[in-house]
Structure 1
Amino acid sequence: MALVRCVGGIVHDAAGRLLMIRRGHDPGLGLWSLPGGRVEPGESDAQAIVREMREETGLVVRPGSLAGTVVRGRYEIHDYVCEVLGGRLRAGDDAADARWVDSVMFTTLELTDGLANTLRDWQRLPRG
């Protein structure tokens, strides 16, 4: 089985809160995760993350460094640290909800498998 290349965006606001979405479709329906999705044929990771972030959150971002890569089932997910350039936060496309999450709220959310440990290992948990 070939792995499906995906990207995710790690975005913190000035208060240290983390941008998260509640998944509106499988895999992970109803669970909270980072915004992102599949890299379409002919797209670079950077193009895919800009498109996915705009579709799922309404925000325009600039992708930065690669935070890390995880494999979840058949999905190989490359997560990038991103900076918000503009837009207005709203849930769209595959996201049932989108919000800035502080460290207290983060501990109350039902997260996709392994997300909390991965963000902790990468030192990318919410700081606010």
Structure 2
Amino acid sequence: MDGDRVECVGALVYDEQRRLLVVQRANEPGRGLWSLPGGRVEAGEDDPTALTREVAEETGLAVEIGPLVGEVERGAPGGRVYVIRDYQASAVGGVLAAGDDASAAKFVSREEFEDLPTTTLLASTLAQWNALPG
């Protein structure tokens, strides 16, 4: 049954003003919606390795992975389930630029975040975790 569960990771990256790093999805699911940078954990990767790779691919930033913030499950195509573990992360290098699965990447304030079309339950989940931008 584990074949129906897709292991994924996401990053909560904030800048000095506690603006949150978000990416606009270039592909389905959720194309055009804003979400946290992240993606699937590939075979042989642990969560920090996968998340470091995904954030670099989507945003151009190098990150240092911190503690687990929370875990959610979301419906995936074909009746599968995305199991998404979101971690605190800090940008430690690189240049912010959208790439790979992202059509845009930026840091947003609380007001900017609230005006964005975001992926299902992102805003309510971040609110539960006290992780909304400052």
Q: CA deviation at 1:92?
A: 0.2
Specify the alignment match of 1:45 in structure 2.
Answer: 47
Distance in 1 separating the partners of 2:114 and 2:47: 29
Secondary structure at 1:48's aligned position in 2? Answer: helix
Q: CA deviation at 1:67?
A: 0.4
The one-letter code sitting in structure 1 at the alignment partner of 2:23 is I
Distance in 2 separating the partners of 1:63 and 1:26: 26
State the superposition RMSD in angstroms.
0.7
Give runs of ≥4 in structure 1 deviating > 2 Å: none
Secondary structure at 2:51's aligned position in 1? Answer: helix
Q: Give the share of equivalent positions with the same residue, in percent.
A: 52
Q: CA deviation at 1:52?
A: 0.2
User: With structure 1 as the length reference, what TM-score do the two structures score?
Assistant: 0.98
Q: CA deviation at 1:111?
A: 0.4
Specify the alignment match of 2:71 in structure 1.
Answer: 69
Deviations 1:10-55 (A, max 9, x none): 0010011000000000010000000000000000000000000000
Q: CA deviation at 1:65?
A: 0.4
User: With structure 2 as the length reference, what TM-score do the two structures score?
Assistant: 0.93
Specify the alignment match of 2:61 in structure 1.
Answer: 59
1:10 aligns with 2:21: no
Compare the two structures and name the one with the higher helix fraction.
2
1:95 aligns with 2:102: yes
* Gapped regions of structure 2 (runs ≥ 5): 76-80
Secondary structure at 1:6's aligned position in 2? Answer: strand
Distance in 2 separating the partners of 1:46 and 1:107: 28
Secondary structure at 1:110's aligned position in 2? Answer: coil
